[in-house]
């Protein structure tokens, strides 16, 4: 015969197991419900087309849930209040592979630069190379072309959407600014014209290279018309402009260089160059998918899959940084901008750097 205490203990264990099961089920259900509620708010905010209850809806919900876990992991690695912050963005329903295919497959490996040199379209920076710490005593300690010039010289943040034309956006943006600095006339110039017309290793919305775009502008002396005259369609099409039959803004010269010396970045040079005007650069933007703010210091590499514009810098804090203008709309990052640490070639900022003259 079984002792009474053993029967009592069995009942207790069964009761405790039931409580644990119910509690764990409650917390899992609550967690899933909380994630789905966030996902529904995400759908509403970014006007995503997912129909609740559909197969696509649950597929994207799972990806969204994975994104939340990734954000938590990345934020757990922050080393200070200056570190980058990651969270829900308009890309949180995409896998990393989908994000790369849709938004980062738009820079092509440059043609051999000797081709550009041989045609007289490549200007190498000949200033003396310095270490990446040469900016520490630089004056002024802060510069931002949005606010520090005498008149407006930066147009609004653009949105390339699904067109792989970052190389065209960043190149045209620098032409806009340099022309405004020179003439006080700030114009929205046609990115679509460059997407459609720029040859020499560029492939419209299927990708291109910033140095090749600038080479095309100089070699053909094609004036850039306004966006109103040649509006953005976010698709590739045939060129609708005759090079010698239009009036617009022409590029007169440019530099295209790599600020790496014996494996070390020489970004002090770039800081100095920014006082003359913005720089167009190629970067690795793989980790930008989840960026909300702060200074990116890690989680990216020195290969290039995206092109952007540097419009300033800030050396005053413990982590000096470049101010980067992106082309994913003003609902990305810091109203369309992103901060990247100066030094150590973070995200490959020193791999392909261009300045221009108009």
Helix axis angle for 55-76 and 4-46, nearest 10°, is 100
Catalytic pick among 212, 300, 305, 306: 306
Helix axis angle for 210-220 and 166-183, nearest 10°, is 50
The residue length of the chain stands at 358
Establish whether 306 is a catalytic residue. yes
Catalytic pick among 71, 163, 166, 347: 166
Classify the C-alpha dihedral 261-263-268-271 as positive or negative.
positive
Counting Cα atoms < 13 Å in the Cβ hemisphere of 162 gives 4
Closest CA to 267 of 211, 321, 305: 321
Closest CA to 276 of 191, 208, 174: 174
Catalytic pick among 202, 304, 305, 326: 326
Establish whether 166 is a catalytic residue. yes
Per-residue HEC secondary structure of 175-233 comes to HHHHHHHHHCCCCCECHHHHHHHCCCCCCHHHCECHHHHHHHHHHHCCCECECCCCCCC
- SS3 at position 51: coil
| Alpha-carbon span 15 to 5, nearest angstrom | 15
> Which residues have C-beta within 8 Å of that of residue 171, sequence separation ≥ 6?
194, 210, 213, 214, 217, 280, 307, 354
Closest CA to 205 of 126, 350, 105: 105
Q: Which two tokens stand for residue 200?
A: 């020499």
Q: Which two tokens stand for residue 212?
A: 């090749």
Establish whether 114 is a catalytic residue. no
What are the residue numbers of the active site?
A: 166, 306, 326
């Amino acid at each position: 015969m079984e002792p009474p205490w053993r029967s009592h203990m069995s009942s207790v264990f069964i009761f405790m197991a039931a409580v644990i099961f119910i509690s764990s089920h409650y917390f899992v259900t609550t967690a899933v419900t909380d994630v789905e509620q966030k996902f529904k708010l995400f759908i509403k905010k970014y006007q995503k087309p997912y129909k609740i209850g559909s197969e696509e809806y649950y597929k994207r919900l799972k990806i969204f849930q994975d994104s939340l876990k990734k954000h938590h992991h990345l934020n757990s690695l922050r080393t200070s209040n200056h570190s980058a912050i990651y969270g829900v963005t308009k890309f949180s329903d995409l896998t990393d592979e989908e994000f790369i295919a849709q938004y980062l497959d738009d820079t092509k490996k440059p043609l051999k630069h000797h081709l550009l040199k041989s045609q007289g379209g490549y200007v190498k920076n000949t200033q003396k190379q310095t270490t990446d710490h040469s900016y520490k005593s630089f004056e002024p300690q802060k510069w931002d072309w949005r606010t520090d010039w005498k008149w407006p010289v930066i147009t609004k943040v653009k949105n390339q959407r699904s067109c792989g034309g970052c190389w065209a956006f960043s190149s045209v943006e620098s032409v806009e600014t340099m022309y405004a600095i020179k003439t006080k006339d700030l114009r929205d110039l046609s990115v679509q014209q460059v997407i459609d017309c720029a040859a020499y290793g560029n492939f419209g919305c299927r990708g291109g290279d910033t140095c090749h775009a600038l080479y095309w502008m100089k070699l053909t002396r094609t004036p850039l018309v306004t966006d109103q005259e040649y509006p953005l369609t976010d698709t590739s099409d045939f060129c609708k402009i005759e090079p010698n039959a239009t009036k617009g803004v022409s590029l007169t010269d440019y530099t295209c260089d790599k600020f790496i010396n014996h494996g070390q970045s020489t970004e002090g040079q770039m800081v100095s160059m920014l006082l003359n005007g913005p720089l167009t650069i190629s970067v690795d933007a793989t980790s930008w998918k989840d960026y909300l703010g702060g200074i990116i210091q890690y989680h990216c590499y020195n290969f290039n899959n995206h092109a952007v514009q540097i419009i300033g810098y800030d050396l005053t804090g413990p982590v000096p940084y470049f101010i980067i203008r992106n082309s994913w709309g003003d609902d990305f990052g810091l109203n369309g901008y992103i901060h990247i640490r100066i030094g150590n070639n973070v995200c490959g900022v020193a791999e392909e750097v261009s300045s221009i003259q108009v």
